Amino acid sequence: MDSNLSDQDNWYLRKLHRKCWNTHLNVDPEGVIFQHLFSEYGFTFADKTLLYAALAYSRDSVCIDSRADVIYWEYISRFQKSLLSAIQKETISECHLFAIFLVLVNTSRHEQDFDIFHKKGFVTILRRLVAENENPNTVIQGGPKLTFLWHYSLTFLGRIELAKFRYRPRNLVWELHDAVEELRLPAILPNNRFTKDFPPLFWEENIRCPDWLSLLCSLLNDKAILRACLERLVRANTEEPRTRSKVAQSITFVKRRLVTMSNLPCVQNLLYRVRLQQTIYK
């Protein structure tokens, strides 16, 4: 209960708390984000952009169709006004990064232009935070507390975008892929809340004993990256050196991962069993 918030706001925050806070295993990506946000920023977020994004998320989970829901879009409007104010005042922090993530999770509720605008904003803010975090002389606004979650949220948004790659003429697969390649994986994860299949590149950090779901996600990710490379070559100016260089670099990364994956003992054993079954049936 926060006396500065309305009864409605407190109700939706309590709903989020009941859903996410006491759950330890089998948590979805949004649940993982909320658990850490509650731990570091309290149950009623002081940052208004993050607060309204969380309220919109909670409202979205109880209304049938948020596209026509007045309460949901009121929260979204407050979220956008607060975000714009932070941009104008140059007070952007990681709270705004996670706020955008929460708004983008349920992309089926929004128009395509809304999603594209905020995903570009997410990548822009992320790159700024990463650059500031790597510069020892820079003081980051708000003092980031959850840097290990930046890659986590980025790859989840990437997977949402990859799922829509086939039927969306305008997508951000390429931009999100660039950001994933630039952002290093966290060296240490503070707890085991993270689901095994997320993000798809985690298997490279545990190459001796990868799990099959992570390998599958990595294959799907690489397949979509190759399609994004083809799209880039077809639609962009192929004479531009930077375009050809980036495509070649991405293809090299994919090839390297596939070769490494194919040499894993568990994969070799699987392929041997498949060939054996084919021989038997022939």
Higher local confidence (pLDDT), 265 or 160? 265
Q: Answer yes or no: is 100 within a domain.
A: yes
In a domain, 240, yes or no: no
Structural domain count, the chain: 1
* Residue 224 located in a structural domain: no
Q: Burial code of 214-252, b = ≥16 C-beta within 10 A, e = fewer?
A: bbebbeebbebbeebbeebeeeeeeeeeebeebbeebee
With bands split at pLDDT 50, 70 and 90, how would you rate the model's confidence at 65?
Answer: low
Is it the case that residue 196 has pLDDT exceeding 50? no
Other C-beta atoms closer than 10 Å to the C-beta of 11 total 14
pLDDT digits (tens, 9 = 90+) for 202-242: 556 556 667 776 787 778 777 777 877 777 777 666 556 77
Specify if 200 maps to a domain: no
Q: Is residue 83 part of a domain?
A: yes
pLDDT value at 131 more than 90 = no
In a domain, 65, yes or no: yes
- Give the span between the Cα atoms of 182 and 195, in whole angstroms: 22
Please check whether residue 250 lies inside any domain of the structure: no
Q: Does the pLDDT value for residue 80 go beyond 60?
A: yes
Q: Is residue 225 part of a domain?
A: no
Torsion angle of the four alpha carbons 64, 2, 77, 8, in this order, in degrees rounded to the nearest 10: 30
- pTM > 0.95: yes or no: no
Give residue 115's domain range.
1-145
